[in-house]
Structure 1
Amino acid sequence: MRKLLLSALALALLAPAAHSQAYEAKPKLVVLLVIDQFRGDYLERYRTDLKATNGFNLFLKKGAYFTSCYYDYASTKTAPGHATIGTGTYTDGHGIGSNEWWDLKRNTDRVVSSVEDERYRMVGTFDDLPVPPPPAISPRDNRIGASPLNLRVTTFGDEVRLATAGESKLYGVSLKDRAAILPAGQTANGAFWIDTATGRFVTSSFYMPELPAWATAFNKGPRIAQAAKEAGVDDTAQFYALVGRTSAANRYELDFARALIEGEKLGQHPVTDVLTVSLSANDILGHQMGPDSDTQKAMVVDLDKDLDAFFTYLDKKIGLGNVMVAFTADHGIAPVPAEAARLGIAAGIINLDTLAEKLNESLNTKFSPGKETAYLMPTQELPNIALDPRPFAKLKVSEKDAEAAVVEALPGIIESMGAPKSAPNNAATPEGTRKYADARLAPDPAAVFIRSHVDLAAGKVPNTEFGRRIAHSYTDHGDWYVMLIPAGYQMEYLNGIQTTHYSPWSYDRHVPLGFFGVNFVSGIYRDQVAPVDIAPTVTSLLGVNAPSASIGHVLVEAIRK
């Protein structure tokens, strides 16, 4: 009996502690891993090809993995997704409704980015370049800085910083500025992303006046040229567009994360540090290839190996027993419409240029007969149709009446547009030309939801699960708009890319969710959960407050008692 008791005691002492504590550096490091545009079915679909010990199997075999994780909103884009993951709330809580939007108080010529902040400047963009700065390849001035200005609430990383009086270090890394800034939060020590032309990692003066020495050394080192070579790219003046769509970009970004961990000594402090890493390559490739291509599968398999190398590094540097990891994605992705149509699904495309032209004609007929007034903003992107308040103001037309006219006109306009009887036979992609011989698209585009900004602000949505998703997607940045949600598998004309995401349909909302760490009971969990559950689960284990607007649940079924 005495031997049995001693054996039980020994096992109890060897068992991992069931509670982490940020104040005592247990764990030493929390890593939030986000894979941009990584649909929730990928790991199930490709599981037999995922063989790395510390790659995705860190969650599938060693951690707690949830197969049915769905966003409960319609704002399935990069910026809202990353904000949701960090804050544990949706757009109606954190305020990030899209990647960019029209804000005429800040800019009348173009949309404003979700993170741009003209009060600050970019840091590290052109430092020490031997040639003059390349021209900006986007409409936004690449000298304008960025910040979490529009993020209205705290993230779990912010709460760790607050709980430790700023002793914990908090950093964000991505190829994209919004994906580096938003999940980290308001109090981050730094956020780093790349200059799209050169591939150099940069930041904003919101965080620091100049790049730290370790980041400058990384930029001056061989990794940019090496990544371009791995991607088979000769011209590194388009790093984001050309290298960014390859597996080489994931390795490049993870190597920068290693440099950050070394340079800032993350995981080596008396309190818990937090690092958010958002890998962007899957999204850049996914828009071009869709979720069902061989190239996309190859990137997932490559990433399995790359994550294995990164987590193996963490094991050697800090010890995986001292690391907590949460893994998810910011959104899913729709199939390429032509591929879905080929199988008989009523998939289709809606030409937003044509829709805007017809809508302007309708608004002129109603408000200014015989004229050609531009009542819409010059660029449109679903799910919102953006109105220009200025011409309406001249006619003393209220926002309510202007949006009501759009709501009234849209169903007939969409019905009149129709859709091509077949998809283009040839579609150029990075892996060659795909042929869609008999891919018939939906003959008539269909809108399932049209609602004005005024009505959305008043909470006039259906009392259904769909209505709740719409309500969770609402925010107010002062712009006039009408929300237009087409039927499933139908989307806006894509200007050469194959597919996109922005909807409340399951293929855009389904993402993976996994945890790894001594606090979690390994296993596959099939109850439906949501990305908003990440923040309260992590903060509960760390013994700190949940983010200020968090609405998620602690996933107690996966926590070691």
Structure 2
Amino acid sequence: MSKLKRSCVLLLAILLPFNFAPLASAQAYEAHPKLVVILVIDQFREDYLERYRADFKPRGFKLFLDHGAYFPDCYYDYANTETAPGHSTIGTGAYTDGHGIGGNEWWDLSRSKDHPVSSVDDERYQLVGMPAGEATTPGASPRNLLASTVGDELRLDTKGQAKLFGVSLKDRAAILTSGATANAAYWIDHTSGRFITSTYYLPQLPDWVTSFDNSGRIEQAKQESGYADTKQFYEEVGRTPAGVSYELDFAKALIQNEQLGKHDVTDLLTLSISSTDLLGHRFGPDSDEQRQMVDMLDTDLDGFFAWLDKNVDGGLGNVWIALSADHGVAPSPAVSAQLGLNAAQWDMKKVIDDLNYAINQKFSPGEKVVYILPHQSLPYLSLNEPSFQRAGINEQEAEQAVQNAIEPEIESLTKKAESKAPAMAKLPPRPILYRSYTRQQLAAGQLPPTDFGRILAHSYSPNGGWYVMLVPAAFQMGPEKGTGTTHYTPYSYDRHVPLAFYGAPFAIGTYHGRVGPVDLAATLASLLGVNQPSASIGHILTQALKPAAAVTYPRKPVVRSRSTTHHRAAAAAKKPE
């Protein structure tokens, strides 16, 4: 043996006692974990978990509360708390100024002059799986999403080997959380309840989706919801617990048929539960109906997590689940006003009509030019750019004129409400405009150097043309019916959501202290060993992570053939003593 070979053998003899097997920390490239599920619950304030904790099953929400890393003080750091921006934030680890999604819809006059466009509408594609005879609508895609998601980064770093899917009853929730590289995103046709997708992803539905749609599961959900004859599946079945179990059954079918959790790299599923939002808008967050929905959702999650334990290689020990919500929600203005809060309701149609009159008086007296576009909701007020341009008015002048006209209009609403109050009665809630900002102010960062200014800066979007952002006083919103409510503001009730993780690398405990939904994508990316999403500003939640050496994953049993075992036994028998 040469001197060099002897040296190498000696070095190996010294090093062999030291275990060079990689630490059992997460590594997407080695399928640790097998599957990541990002679970988003639409319109789900964090305090639900505190208030209803005694109701929960052992492996529903308590999987996170008792066996996971739970962050009760999670708040969005922007003002436009709606569904599309929230799901985009969870996926990208960025706020609107990073991912570009400012609302569920906005006016884009280059694409439509008679209605706002959805955050995911894309007329370059077509919907796939729509029932025969239904009106043709635009396809959908993540065309407006300006940043990558954690799922995109997983796909990039594994050269497309990792599978990525998004599921929700809502198109924007399925599309924006998963990202541009998803194998597919699935959502439902509002009328029939059938799961559909877009040609952005697939030219036709896979056979398993068609089979699910034709399986009778839709009729079962209708029966369970009490709306057996409905022609509006989304609006009626969707706002019941039957809508949750229907969606989770589809998720199970996807996991089985796409073989998620059975590959040589980590797979990722984004799953957004929409039913809590559909019901919450109608009844409010403190209603008995919403509590029942939360309890039934807990029961369904208990069953879903048990199913994952049986159907992913290695069970839940090989699964990570991250939990959050796309936004919180305001207390019902009717209930808040009864308790003495100044929970006024704004009549947005009247506000828009009166603003149009005021701007006509300024720029085109005696005419009825449409300067403020119809069919819109707070916090953004979209301007009709061509109307101003025809009058020779530039963006700065137009937005400033609308901003100046807003405050007198809100004051007139207050006077009108107070004039109707009976003598010696407590005055009704009065509308108050807390602040307003033009698009140009937001774009230039001409904002107060405060925490509130930072929240506003994070709310800027290049979409929507010319606009003015309105911030009503706390607890105020549009004219909601009964105990109904909504969300869109910078106030804590709209920004407060849960954040929790379950899985091998997470140290069990409750972690107090402010965190944000942007931290979800940053933490998962770090643990998976992939790049953070392109616009990510989140922090890695190291306080809730175990040391790498303490992280273990189930291993597949080593299966040896009889012939291999026989040859090894024979070789051992021949070995000299």
TM > 0.5 between the two?
A: yes
Which one-letter code corresponds to 2:302 in the other structure? D
The aligned runs of 1:284-433 (5 Å cut-off) are 284-318=278-312, 319-418=315-414, 420=417
Contact kept in structure 2, 1:346 and 1:441, CA below 8 Å:
no
Q: Quick one: distance in 2 between partners of 1:174 and 1:504?
A: 26
Q: Quick one: distance in 1 between partners of 2:159 and 2:419?
A: 61
Q: Quick one: distance in 2 between partners of 1:336 and 1:440?
A: 20
SS at match of 2:186: strand
Show the counterpart of 1:6. none
Given the alignment, which residue of 410, 425, 433 partners 1:447?
A: 433
Q: Quick one: distance in 1 between partners of 2:464 and 2:298?
A: 43
Q: Quick one: distance in 1 between partners of 2:435 and 2:222?
A: 44
Given the alignment, which residue of 238, 241, 255 partners 1:244?
A: 238
Unaligned residue ranges in structure 2 (runs of 5+): 1-18, 548-577
Q: Quick one: distance in 2 between partners of 1:409 and 1:421?
A: 21
1:426-450 CA-partner distances (Å, limit 9, x unpaired): xxxxxxxxxxxxx978542111111
Contact kept in structure 2, 1:331 and 1:509, CA below 8 Å:
yes
Which one-letter code corresponds to 2:433 in the other structure? A
| Aligned-residue RMSD, C-alpha | 1.8
Which one-letter code corresponds to 1:88 in the other structure? G
Q: Quick one: distance in 2 between partners of 1:155 and 1:422?
A: 52
Count of residues paired in the alignment: 521
Show the counterpart of 1:87. 92
1:8-61 CA-partner distances (Å, limit 9, x unpaired): xxxxx9xx96620000000000000000000010000101111x1210011000
Contact kept in structure 2, 1:341 and 1:441, CA below 8 Å:
no
Given the alignment, which residue of 27, 30, 34 partners 2:33?
A: 27
Q: Quick one: distance in 2 between partners of 1:376 and 1:542?
A: 47
Given the alignment, which residue of 502, 507, 510 partners 2:496?
A: 510
Identity across matched positions, percent: 56
The aligned runs of 1:264-279 (5 Å cut-off) are 264-279=258-273
1:536 pairs with 2:541 = no
Contact kept in structure 2, 1:223 and 1:252, CA below 8 Å:
yes
Q: Quick one: distance in 2 between partners of 1:328 and 1:555?
A: 14
Show the counterpart of 2:275. 281
Q: Structure 1 stretch 492-501 or stretch 85-94: which is displaced more?
A: 492-501
Show the counterpart of 1:111. 116
Q: Quick one: distance in 2 between partners of 1:259 and 1:366?
A: 60
SS at match of 1:491: coil
Q: Quick one: distance in 2 between partners of 1:17 and 1:83?
A: 33
Which one-letter code corresponds to 1:289 in the other structure? F
SS at match of 1:159: helix
Contact kept in structure 2, 1:422 and 1:440, CA below 8 Å:
no
Contact kept in structure 2, 1:34 and 1:328, CA below 8 Å:
yes
Q: Quick one: distance in 2 between partners of 1:527 and 1:402?
A: 43
Which one-letter code corresponds to 1:258 in the other structure? K
**By how many angstroms is 1:496 displaced?**
7.0
**By how many angstroms is 1:235 displaced?**
2.1
Q: Quick one: distance in 1 between partners of 2:153 and 2:100?
A: 18
Which one-letter code corresponds to 1:357 in the other structure? D
Q: Quick one: distance in 2 between partners of 1:461 and 1:102?
A: 24
SS at match of 2:352: helix
Contact kept in structure 1, 2:68 and 2:502, CA below 8 Å:
yes
Given the alignment, which residue of 119, 124, 127 partners 2:129?
A: 124
Contact kept in structure 2, 1:338 and 1:441, CA below 8 Å:
no
Q: Which protein shows a greater Rg?
A: 2
Given the alignment, which residue of 201, 211, 214 partners 1:217?
A: 211
Runs of 4+ in 1 over 4 A off after TM superposition: 419-424, 439-442
**By how many angstroms is 1:380 displaced?**
2.1
Which one-letter code corresponds to 1:31 in the other structure? V
1:147-180 CA-partner distances (Å, limit 9, x unpaired): 0100111000000000100000000000000000
Given the alignment, which residue of 448, 451, 468 partners 1:482?
A: 468
Show the counterpart of 2:189. 195
SS at match of 2:469: strand
Given the alignment, which residue of 506, 513, 517 partners 1:527?
A: 513
Show the counterpart of 1:182. 176
| TM-score, normalization by structure 2 | 0.88
Unaligned residue ranges in structure 1 (runs of 5+): 1-12, 136-141, 425-438
Which one-letter code corresponds to 1:445 in the other structure? P
SS at match of 1:448: strand
